[in-house]
Amino acid sequence: MCGIVGYCGPKPAAPILIEGLKRLEYRGYDSAGICVGNHGELTIIKKKGKLHALDAAVPDGLQGYWGIGHTRWATHGEVNDLNAHPHSDQSGRIAIVHNGIIENYGALREKLQHEGYAFRTETDSEVIAHLLSSLYEGNLEQALKRTCAILKGTYGIVAMHQDEPDQLVGARNGSPLVLGIGENEMLLGSDVTALIAHTRQVVYIEDGEVVRVTPNNYRTTDLRDRRIDKKVDTISWELEEIEKGNYRCFMEKEIFEQPESIRRAFQGRIDHEHATAHLGGLNMSNRELLEIERIKLVAAGTSYHAGMVSSYLMENLARIPCNAELASELRYRNPIVERNSIYFAISQSGETADTLYALRELQRKGARVLGICNVVGSTIARESDGGVYIHSGPEIAVASTKAFTSQLTALYLYTLLIARMRDMSWEQGHRFIEALESIPALTQSILERHAEVEALARKYCQAQNFLFLGRGINYPVALEGALKLKEISYIHAEGYSAAEIKHGPIALINEQTPSLFIVPDDGLREKVISNMKEVKARKGPVIALAVDGDREVAAIADDVFSVPRAGQYIYPFAMMIPLQLFAYYCALELGRDVDQPRNLAKSVTVE
Ligand code: M6R
């Protein structure tokens, strides 16, 4: 989704803004622009397309030490130079960048037009520039407060005025905004990746707050001008973590980081002596944990699939009813919050609007909602009633990979904790921990055989349609495999329970439609083999993800990739790695933009 960066300090602003926007590219965008202030004059440059188009349009040595930049992911109005941000008022003295959606922009636009303001774009955001102008009485910060009081919808806004040099003002409502405190310089960004090359000291701006920054100062207030003292946080990420290093793209890097990111997710959280997990951030006593009678896992996309996998584990091991729900559906169906139920909002970014609004709706009804997030300090992490960070490190590629396996790890630990308070014996707990601790080495051994998956991708990547099929705990893994393939390769892929194909999807089977079956050696293996035979009988090509030495599967499938034998609950990790690799190599073979697939955004901050 859209990205924001702002700078004021002693250095030329334009290169810093462009560099900040480059770090935000991963969020997905279709146009970009900057505004730089110099000697009481604002220069706006904006371009449709990727950042190199903007970079090329910026004159060498563009002067100016304060400015704002934006990457736009179109919502209102087509993708063109004009609709790109920054937007200015008609006098050209005020410039703004905006993330989010202004819901009452239609009425405001009409009113402002009536008052003589001429609009140049089709965007909702332009209304902010004119509103600011109409409410400006010599102080931009105060004008922004008056503007925010009128706006309805979501926003992260940063604005500048040519008569107030070396100063930026920002406001937030539902769209993230972070202040970076540097040495004699201040930055504003929609996320910390835009700031991290310059400072580690950050302040998270909250909804309803306004921030004013000058090179050596900042102040945060609410819309009624009351001062708010903010905590300064220190970012622990290293710059290399948001760089590709020797990898071709971030997705490749992130897939290969998984042995380490999974280890980080369980490190320090296993209590070997009592064969259980330590999850301090939950903020719950043992008594409260014991009283839980139902668990709901609320999320979107890949995080939802991680929730689905975990619900199988939770019911099997802890014997507590547990189900995963799409946040976007839950919010609008007036959910029933039962006593003694606990909710988890699972989100890599911690900013997904659907998940955030579901969390708020649940909390409003009195539910306790815990967060499973990657991004420290993100909105969901801050607003939840406790939770677990997955510590994957920054995930930059739009397609989520390492966050999925780390979310699973965190939820597996939570299951262990709950299960050990109920039926799971010390010995079972101990075996479960052993299995969990074997995952980094297991995934490493699978990654080392990446060339085998690459060969499969080369063979099958011209197919127009794919079915991904699994059963039980591996059914959501099939869904996730299909999601990965479609989002980065644009090959149409459907994930199904292998049992379900006879109820409809089998009609799609023909010689051109490969089916990828997940066949671990668990209690459902025989059933899945029968489903494979049904596809073979209809001349459908079959690829199997099986277990080493499974000759029966090898005899039926056209191609097999086998993983080492593992505990039944560990297969979702083992099977996911080749599925991620398969999607990645198909996309690479087809020449797709792997890290920034078309139409997609990393952090989906609009509903
Ligand atoms: O940041 P979140 O985990 O809340 O994101 C949820 C989905 O938008 C995300 O998983 C999306 O489906 C990914 N592009 C999948 O790879």
| Mean residue pLDDT across the chain | 95
Structure confidence by residue, pLDDT tens digits, 378-387: 899 999 999 9
pLDDT tops 80 at residue 1: no
Q: How far is residue 2's CA from residue 286's CA, in Å, rounded to a whole number?
A: 42
Q: Ligand 1: which of 250, 303, 408 to mutate, judged by most atoms within 8 Å of the beta carbon?
A: 303
* pLDDT computed for residue 203 by the predictor: 95
The dihedral built from the CA positions of residue 15, 80, 173 and 599, taken in this order, carries a sign that is: negative
Partners of 342 in the β-ladder? 295, 368
Q: Is the CB of 374 under 6 A from ligand 1?
A: no
The 3-class secondary structure across 517-551, one letter per residue, is EECCCCCCHHHHHHHHHHHHHCCCCEEEEEECCCH
* pLDDT computed for residue 605 by the predictor: 78
Name which residue sits closest to atom 7 of ligand 1, judged by CA. 301
Active site residue 46: no
Confidence label for 295 from pLDDT (cuts 50, 70 and 90)? very high
Q: Is the CB of 379 under 6 A from ligand 1?
A: no
* pLDDT computed for residue 60 by the predictor: 86
pLDDT tops 80 at residue 238: no
Strands of 515-518's sheet in order across: 492-497, 465-470, 515-518, 542-547, 559-563
Domains of the chain: 3-235 (3.60.20.10), 243-437 (3.40.50.10490), 445-592 (3.40.50.10490)
Q: Which helix (H) or strand (E) holds 32?
A: strand 31-38
Average of per-residue pLDDT across 542-552: 97
Strands of 341-347's sheet in order across: 322-326, 294-299, 341-347, 368-373, 387-389
* pLDDT computed for residue 600 by the predictor: 87
- CA of residue 484 to ligand 1 center, whole Å: 11
Structure confidence by residue, pLDDT tens digits, 402-441: 999 999 999 999 999 999 999 899 999 999 999 999 999 9
Structure confidence by residue, pLDDT tens digits, 455-467: 999 999 999 999 9
Q: Is the CB of 303 under 6 A from ligand 1?
A: yes
pLDDT tops 90 at residue 240: no
Burial of 75: CB neighbours in 10 Å, binned 0-12, 13-18, 19+: middle
First to last CA, the chain: 11
Structure confidence by residue, pLDDT tens digits, 128-147: 999 999 999 999 999 999 99
Ligand 1 atom closest to 398 (CA) = 14
Structure confidence by residue, pLDDT tens digits, 250-276: 999 999 999 999 999 999 999 999 999
Percent of the chain having pLDDT more than 90?
88
Average of per-residue pLDDT across 345-369: 96
Q: Is the CB of 487 under 6 A from ligand 1?
A: yes
Active site residue 484: no
pLDDT tops 90 at residue 399: yes
Structure confidence by residue, pLDDT tens digits, 53-79: 999 999 988 899 999 999 998 888 888
Q: How far is residue 34's CA from residue 18's CA, in Å, rounded to a whole number?
A: 8
Pick from 15, 1, 32, 53: nearest CA to 197 = 15
- pTM of the prediction? 0.85
Q: How far is residue 473's CA from residue 471's CA, in Å, rounded to a whole number?
A: 6
Structure confidence by residue, pLDDT tens digits, 201-213: 999 999 999 999 9
Q: Is the CB of 485 under 6 A from ligand 1?
A: no
Structure confidence by residue, pLDDT tens digits, 558-574: 999 999 999 999 999 99
